[in-house]
Amino acid sequence: RVRVRGLSIFRPIIYGNTAVVLTQKERDASLTPDHTHRWTVAVRSAASPPDGDQVGGADDLSYFIKRVSFKLHDTYPNPSRNVDKSPFELTETGWGEFEIQIRITFVTESGEKAATLYHHLKLHPWTASGEPEIPPLDVAMKLGPVHSWQYDEVVFNDPYQNFLNILTSH
């Protein structure tokens, strides 16, 4: 277990969510008819191509990430959701925005502590005025999917030599 002292290496990621309004048909067929949106929260590679391969491709972060835990609002059953393989994403339905805690556990070889990020789940489109008003669902549906993503860099300082090898061979 040899550390490479003085070296920093980072991996660029994006994290956030997309959301769409459910159709009336989908809501009628649902066990939770009060839910208005379907959303996906994810941690992805910032180096991924738009339609990148999810498994084994540029967006597969499993060479350095072992688990991503998404901690949802307490109104959800089993609010702590673990994703143990790529793609590190979770799809749910709901009616409200809330803060999602995203806990990233790295592969054992890294010797790194878990990292925690926070993302405000965004369901409602931004308005031109910047006012936090929520448009009616039929208006929101016409506006199309909502996207809210942030760029970040996971930095590893003084990485173990074998972990550095893993990082640089991908």
- Interface with ligand SLL by CB under 6 A: which residues? 32, 73, 75-76, 94-98
Of the candidates 160, 139, 155, 154, which has an alpha carbon nearest to the alpha carbon of residue 36?
A: 139
CB atoms near residue 142 (< 10 Å) = 9
Residue 150's identity, in one-letter code, is Q
> Which is closer to ligand SLL, CB of 95 or CB of 126?
95
Smallest separation (angstroms) from ligand SLL to the CB of 37 = 8
Smallest separation (angstroms) from ligand SLL to the CB of 95 = 4
> Which is closer to ligand SLL, CB of 91 or CB of 162?
91
Give the separation between CA 138 and CA 129, rounded to whole angstroms: 19
Sheet of 37-45, strand order: 88-94, 37-45, 8-21, 146-157
> Which is closer to ligand SLL, CB of 78 or CB of 168?
78
Smallest separation (angstroms) from ligand SLL to the CB of 136 = 17
> Which is closer to ligand SLL, CB of 95 or CB of 151?
95
Smallest separation (angstroms) from ligand SLL to the CB of 122 = 12
Give CA 58 to chain center in angstroms: 16
